[in-house]
Amino acid sequence: MSEELVQATILHVDMDAFYASVAELDNPQYKGKALVVGAGVRGVVLSANYEARKFGIRAAMPVGRAKRMAPHAIFIAPEHHRYAEISERVMAIFNSFTPLVEPISLDEAFLDVTGSQKLFGDGREIAAKIRAQVEQEEGITCSVGIAQSKFIAKLASQHCKPNGMLEIKSDRILEFLHPLPVRALWGVGPKTAESLDRLGLHTVADIANTPRSTLVRALGDATGESLYELAWGRDYRNVIPDEPEKSIGNEETFARDIDSPEEILAEFLRMAEKATARLRERGLFAKTVTMKIKFADFTTLSRAKTLPIGIDGTHETYEIVKKLYLALNNEGARIRLVGVSLSNLLDEAPVQLELGARERGWRDADTAIDKAKARFGGGSVRPGRLITGDSGDSEA
């Protein structure tokens, strides 16, 4: 006798205006006021509470534009260490209900609770318990979508924010999904939306009722196939716990455009220092180093170099970034942002370092600097060219 097929129960848990909520938690005087996390006219909004969103302010919007929309709002700099601290505790709550937790960012995760229901109740009961525990222990709220797939669960959480819970049962998926605009589908960005609009496809139902072959011809094999499947609510991806980080990076938007190669290289060194410190903290090594630049006209350019072995040192990373930047031969160009990203990550030390290659001395110095910072603070030891002061940065 064959076993009965068990339908999956997936939760998507999303913290409500996470960075802003943490700021309100630490500063109760902000509650009830329009609050935006994002500092500097040239920076971007990282989070906005729901009071600020009433004025149209959204994440990723330039801070300067947000200030014009709500000049009376409170604008504060981010505190990444606090977000990481609370996120770690929230993820621990999730893991107390199921080992199948797939973090998407600091403030959201997918949970497969299919096998947890004998212990904790059905999906709605588990979601309610998680929401209550997060609010009781951390003082912030979250919204939870419940469905049989990751795609529908995430859509459900978006439709019940803030501080809500929505379950989409299997027999209601198409009723819920088909009236939504095409942008609700994963993979539909501005360009794809334009292509769909030219085809006269404006809702998910329009896509579902278009022949698969037509979508493939218009959008390409991968996009056409994916959108057709999603339009019928079909998403077979599993929740993957503890997925390794794909990249570690830092970037900075300057308060003013800069065109001095010396200043630009100093900023690249700063970004390399921050990124590699995070790499070493996680015990990882990177084989690919990427340099990113955004010019004054908002044109963005990146260059990357992949190495035969992984590295984790500030000096060697900076030297690669420096060569990539100088090879552009664009002295005098005005730049508004620089970034350094490390990818192709490994969790094993390269043989060259174990054998004591010439970079060993730099690596020992980095280790000593990391220890000094841990004991005396982040600004206690810096490369010589960076001791003139620090600028704000954002994690990639």
Share of the chain above pLDDT 90, in %: 66
| Contact of 52 with 37, CB cutoff 8 Å | no
14 marked among binding-site residues: yes
Give the whole-angstrom CA distance, residue 164 versus residue 13. Answer: 10
pLDDT tens track for 73-94 = 999 999 988 998 999 999 999 9
Per-residue confidence band for 366, with pLDDT thresholds at 50, 70 and 90: low
Q: Is the pLDDT of residue 357 over 60?
A: no
393 marked among binding-site residues: no
Give the whole-angstrom CA distance, residue 179 versus residue 141. Answer: 28
Give exposure, 247-276, as e/b (b: 16+ Cβ within 10 Å): ebbbbbbbeeebeebeebbbbbbbbbbbbb
E strands within the chain?
A: 10-15, 35-37, 47-48, 74-76, 101-105, 108-112, 142-147, 165-167, 247-258, 285-295, 300-311, 335-346, 394-395
Q: Is the pLDDT of residue 353 over 50?
A: no
Please enumerate in sequence order all residues whose Cβ is within 8 A of that of 8, keeping only pairs 6 or more positions apart, or say none: 112, 114, 148, 149
> What's the confidence (pLDDT) of residue 242?
72
E strands within 101-176?
A: 101-105, 108-112, 142-147, 165-167
Strand partners, 306: 288
Give the whole-angstrom CA distance, residue 351 versus residue 361. Answer: 15
56-72: average pLDDT: 93
> What's the confidence (pLDDT) of residue 330?
80
Q: Is the pLDDT of residue 395 over 50?
A: no
Q: Could you say which DSSP state residue 62 is in?
A: B
pLDDT tens track for 130-182 = 999 999 999 999 999 999 999 999 999 999 999 999 999 999 999 999 999 99
> What's the confidence (pLDDT) of residue 81?
86
3-state secondary structure of 74: strand
Number of H helices, E strands in the chain: 16, 13
Share of the chain above pLDDT 70, in %: 85
Name the residue with higher pLDDT: 141 or 43: 141
- Average pLDDT over all residues of the chain: 87
Which structural domains are found in the chain, ordered by start? Answer: 10-16+81-173 (3.30.70.270), 18-79 (3.40.1170.60), 178-231 (1.10.150.20), 247-395 (3.30.1490.100)
Strand partners, 342: 248, 289
Q: Is the pLDDT of residue 368 over 70?
A: no
Lowest mean pLDDT among 42-51, 127-136, 341-350: 341-350
- Coarse DSSP helix, strand, coil percentages of the chain, rounded to the nearest 5 percent: 45, 20, 35
Q: Is the pLDDT of residue 39 over 90?
A: no
Give the whole-angstrom CA distance, residue 200 versus residue 9. Answer: 35
Per-residue confidence band for 119, with pLDDT thresholds at 50, 70 and 90: very high
* Catalytic residue check, 108: yes
Give the whole-angstrom CA distance, residue 232 versus residue 388. Answer: 57
Question: Residues 24, 51, 102, 108: which is the catalytic one?
Answer: 108
